[in-house]
Structure 1
Amino acid sequence: MDEGPSFTKYMLENDNFHGLTEDELAGLAGTFFVAGSETTALAICTVLLAAACFPEEQAKVQAEFDAVIGKHRAPTFADQLSLPRLQAFISEALRWRPLLPNGLPHRATRDVIWENYCIPAGTTVIGNHWAISRDPEFYPEPHSFKPQRWIDDRGCLRDDLNLPIFGFGRRICPGQYVANRSVFINSLLVLWAFQLTPDSTMPLDDMGLINGIPNDRPYPIDFKTRITEMELRSMMRNYPEVA
């Protein structure tokens, strides 16, 4: 296997240039791994959880798949712009159950005056994702699961409605584009290939993923193939070259 680029290797070889200690470099490398793996995996799980909890909305997404993709080829990133309902479903799932409901702490670097409030330099400020995502001014009926809220009258994704899940300002998550693509393609492939339903023998806890920390609690969801296993194996054998 050819050796690919390594951020950590680059930083170690250029440590004097960047002025970071060995401990700081180790922390930086660890942050890349933790921030980019567990949170993305939990986001994907949240989308699948929403699909099991809201079968009517799942069916609408799968109807879009059948119209745009069909069942004779595997979907790819090339289909993304043609799948607004899936993207709306993902956005609504992450609004419905934000991974970090309390957000992450920030610190004011200077005095800030905002709407008659003085926020002194050094103050810790937290943007509460749960409260923001339930503001009825922006999300009418905020406690209802409504992917349609993300779609305009033309059937396109709205560009005036956003989610705070990646943070704010200069400290917004730099990995948001990679994370969005990972969540999109994994959600697309799973929901295209399977119909998800809650396991009738065990209750499904729809609040269990919102702390952003993996746990060993089972999430009983049944996966039923929408395409025969033989066809799936055939299509995925050369994925994505033939898509």
Structure 2
Amino acid sequence: MTYAFNASYAACVILRVTYGKSTPTATDAPEIIVIHKMLMRPGVLLVERYPILKYVPGYATELEQWRREDSQLFHGHLDRVSRELATGKAGPSFARYLLENLSSHKLSDEEMAYLAGSLFGAGSDTTAVAIMVLVMASACYPKAQEKVQEELDVVIGRDRAPTFDDYNSLQKIEAFMLECLRWRLVTTLGFAHRALTNIPYKNMCILEGAIVFGNHWAISRDTSVYSNPDQFDPQKWLKTDGKIRNDLKFPSFGFGRRIYPG
């Protein structure tokens, strides 16, 4: 039930950012169904393991149907923003930015539709998971949550919401969020990388062209970097003066050329 609420909330937020959509989005809405298809775990499709299947007549029929559904949905949202622009009713959104800057980015309608759709797909389910982790950490470690609430009460109070101007004054909150992202990862493997050449590793060789995933979970449990890695402790991100450490990082959203676009 909690995840369903988070998924709905996250979808509403990312649809507002991407397309300016201000109406509620249910968990069984077409947009959410498309996201779940887009975010299937790597390797779930046989064609990923056996590329020759793409040449088998009829095999790709279902995949092509999904592609048409995605395209229809993405184009539908983009067309709606285009109509709103024409009537002066469009609010701020990523899609509006794309449509208003055609001469500078020179993207086709298809490219714009899928670019905006990728932003939506990348930012919805992952946001819901991150919120769930934060709620779980707060419930499991109430003492750490109390410190965060205390900082909010001192810096912000109870009469307004935080703004970006408060960012540098909320170090405990930043540490809490950093620890959430390390303690329970949003993506345990991140994006796929391709080996550009043969890579010797210990007594093995990763062949050129091989698909490689960085094991984020193992990285997050590296005891030479993170003390007591299985223990949730935001304090590990703070220096003695209470500021965020600049010598400690965690690749929550990937690394290299395939860093997470969301």
TM-score (norm 2): 0.57
Cα separation, 2, equivalents of 1:2 and 1:125: 42
Q: Return the offset for 1:111.
A: 3.3
Aligned to 2:178: 91
Cα separation, partners in 2 of 1:2 and 1:124, compared to 1, 3 Å: closer
Cα separation, 2, equivalents of 1:70 and 1:17: 47
Cα separation, 2, equivalents of 1:102 and 1:174: 14
2:220 to 133, 136, 140: 133
Aligned to 1:45: 132
Q: Is the 8 A contact 2:122 2:261 kept in 1?
A: no
Cα separation, 2, equivalents of 1:26 and 1:128: 32
Q: Secondary structure at the match of 2:124?
A: helix
Aligned-partner residue type, residue 38 of structure 1: D
Q: Secondary structure at the match of 1:138?
A: coil
- Higher Rg of the two aligned structures: 2
Cα separation, 1, equivalents of 2:242 and 2:227: 19
**Superimposed CA distance per residue, residues 97-125 of structure 1 (whole angstroms, 9 cap, x where no aligned partner):** 10122333211123345678643320111
Q: Looking at secondary structure, tell me which structure has more helix per residue.
A: 2
Cα separation, 2, equivalents of 1:93 and 1:83: 16
Aligned to 2:192: 105
**Correspondence 1:72 to 2:159:** yes
Cα separation, partners in 2 of 1:74 and 1:169, compared to 1, 3 Å: same
Q: Return the offset for 1:54.
A: 0.9
Aligned to 1:55: 142
Cα separation, partners in 2 of 1:66 and 1:166, compared to 1, 3 Å: same
**Correspondence 1:30 to 2:123:** no
Cα separation, partners in 2 of 1:108 and 1:82, compared to 1, 3 Å: same
Q: Return the offset for 1:150.
A: 0.4
TM-score (norm 1): 0.61
Cα separation, partners in 2 of 1:36 and 1:109, compared to 1, 3 Å: same
Aligned-partner residue type, residue 248 of structure 2: L
Cα separation, 1, equivalents of 2:204 and 2:248: 26
Q: Return the offset for 1:160.
A: 1.3
- 1:1-243 to structure 2, matched below 5 A, reads 1-2=89-90, 4=92, 6-7=94-95, 10=99, 22=110, 26-113=113-200, 118-175=205-262
Identical aligned residues as a percent: 47
Q: Is the 8 A contact 2:199 2:205 kept in 1?
A: yes
Aligned residues: 172
RMSD (CA atoms)? 2.9
The answer for unaligned runs of 5 or more in structure 1 is: 176-243
Q: Return the offset for 1:30.
A: 2.4
The answer for unaligned runs of 5 or more in structure 2 is: 1-88
Q: Looking at secondary structure, tell me which structure has more strand per residue.
A: 1
Q: Return the offset for 1:141.
A: 0.7
